[in-house]
Every structure is written in C-alpha cells, then in structure tokens.
Copies of this chain bind each other. A is one copy, B any other.
Amino acid sequence: MEPDCTPRYLASDNTSGICPEAMEYLLEANRSDDLAYGNDSWTERAADRFRELFDYDCDVFFVFNGTAANSLTLAAMGRSYHSVICHELAHIETDECGGPEFFSNGAKLLTSPGEHGKLTPEGIEALVTKRSDIHYPKPRVISLTQATEVGTLYSLDELRAIRAMADKHDLRLHMDGARFANACAALNVSPAELTWQVGIDALCFSGTKNGMAMGEAILFFNRELSEDFAYRCKQAGQLASKMRFIAAPWLGLLESGAWRTNAEHANAMARYLADGLIGLPGVEAMFPTQANSVFVSLPPAAIAELKARGWTFYTFIGAGGARFVCSWNTTTELLDTLINDMRDALSQA
C-alpha cells in the first residue's frame, strides 16, 4: 500500500511510540520486583514530582487512558442527575462512545458552540440559565479542553473569564488535558499558571500523547472532589496492579523535562507543516495552528490522492477538511514528504 516503508502516520499523536526518556525509566523500573497497586517506589515519587511541577499540594492519580481519566473525573465532580457543559466539538461529546455517561451513570452533556472550538462565558451562561426546572439536568461542571480539539488555545484571560462564570453559577471546572503539555509550551506558561492559578478544579494530563505507551495523570487541585477517588478508580477497572509501569515513565518525562520538550517539538512541527501547507493553491486553514495540530480544507480529490499515497489523517465528512497531528518524534523529513505529496495532489486535483 505504501511506496516506501516509512509509516506516514499523521492521524494522531497516538501513532507515535514511547519516547526515550519514558522508556529509560520503564526499563529501570523493571530491574527489580516491587510492590503492587501503587505501593511501589515509583508511584509516590511521580506524584510528588507532579506536585512540584505544579507547585501545589494536589491529589494525583494514575489511570490507563483518556476516556477513563476524563470520565472518572467528571463522575467525581457531580452526580448522575447533573449535567456537564462542554463545547459541541469536545472529545467527551464526540468520541467517547458514551463513556462520560457510563461512568457517571447518566450525567448529560450539554453542548455549546463557540468559535475555534472554545467555550465562551456567554455560551456557558446560556446553557445554565436556559431552564431551571427539575426536568433539565442541573449544570454542575464545565469541561474544557486545552489545547482544544481543533488545535487552538484558551488564553489565561479566557480561562479566568470562564472561571468567573463558573463561580457565578457554582460550577466546577474540569480541564481535559489530552494535549496539556502542548498548551503549556505554546502559551509559554507554567503548569501552575494554566491550572489552579486560573481556577481549574481538576486536570486530566495525558501521558499517552506526550510520549508514553499508555497512562494518564489526574490532578485534583480542589481536593474536596477527590475524596475516596482511589476507590472509584479501583472499582472502575483503572487501578493498575503493576502501577510502576505507568508511574516510572511519567517520572521519566517529568524529571528529564521531556514532557515539555516533546510538546515543544510537536508544536514546532505543526507550525512547520502549517507554514508549508497553507498558501498552497486550494489549501486553507480551518483553524489557527496554535498547538500540534493542523486543520486545513482541501479539494476532495487531493484528500483521495494523499490517502492513496499511504498518508493517514482524519477527514471531516462532507467538509473537505483534514487534520494532521504532529508528535514528539515527527520529523521535518516526513513533513517535507507530505508537503511535496500535497503539491502533487493539488496539481492533479
């Protein structure tokens, strides 16, 4: 199917493997036996390192993947008859196969539009004040994604404004940090600045997309919400018996700084790709490239040609849209090949 043996994967940052810094700690953690269920010598170290990085005495938990991280956290932030306000493009709404509803036993997601994939205070308030009767699930949580599903970023000011709206209506604030590292790097802010300092109650920080094999960290800055949360993880099949194989790679990312340099690299690659693509005849930016994703509109024939040449990327039905995601190990060589193929494809289209 592919003309050469280099994979042409730009569909998601989860097609990349384990980065060297994570792997080194994984191998190290495998040098000797250790206690199970997080009582090992790695888990507490990793949790402490998160507390240092965020400069906050938060509660830290490790789970296997993003569906679980977001769903468990949202379940802890409300009850089944509450609702969660999110953007209509939020991953929890569009790509979790009902995961948040399953883990919460029925909490409804209320979706709001918003330019560039971002919630606005007004959009949130419209959902909160729309109704106040018992037949409408009471809004209790706002969930926002940073960077968003369309590769854009909330500024600190935008986050503060959302927090103010949350306070006005007694809502909790959840951040889906599937690409949190990319956001920190792109905004050039610290993890603290981007979370508790702007009033985030809980963050789901993805390790998988940041260079690990699997594993996400959940950080509760509002510790009232994490009471007995370890039991919740256990019951829901998210307590790893050999937890050190999640904790140690995290420690590798944190101690080496790779959590951020990986993200910086991915962001830079996306910038490189955007610069190479946008401006080609027939290619238009769908969203500003602010983190590690590039969204462009293309002629359908060009999409078909790229797929024929073995490129994997997400397309948007009926819209002629394409998403390319860069990762910690994306190379300019790969992107140059794509840009060249794109030129060919466009000239044929």
Contact = CB atoms under 8 A, between A and B. Distances in A.
Interface of A: 7, 9, 11-12, 14-18, 23, 26, 29-37, 63-68, 71-72, 79-83, 94-99, 101-103, 105-108, 130-131, 134-138, 208, 213-214, 228, 230-232, 234-242, 245-246, 312, 317, 329
A84 to B, nearest CB: 11
Contacts of A105: 80, 102, 105-106
Q: 4 closest Cβ contacts across the A-B interface?
A: A68-B237, A102-B106, A81-B231, A101-B106
Majority SS at the chain A contact face: loop
Contacts of A97: 81, 108, 134-137, 231, 234-235
Instruction: Count chain B CB atoms within 10 A of each CB in A32, A106, A130, A238 and give the residue with the most.
Output: A106
Contact of A208 (B79, B138, B241, B312): B241
Nearest to A9: B33
Contacts of A14: 36, 241-242
A108 B98 contact: yes
Contact of A17 (B33, B37, B235): B33
A98 B291 CA distance: 35
A80 B98 contact: yes
Contacts of A101: 98, 101, 106-108
Given A33-B9, A81-B228, A96-B135, A102 B235 contact: yes
Contacts of A31: 17
Nearest to A108: B98
Given A65-B237, A79-B228, A81-B231, 11 more contacts: A7-B34, A16-B33, A64-B65, A65-B238, A65-B240, A65-B241, A95-B136, A97-B234, A131-B317, A134-B230, A214-B246
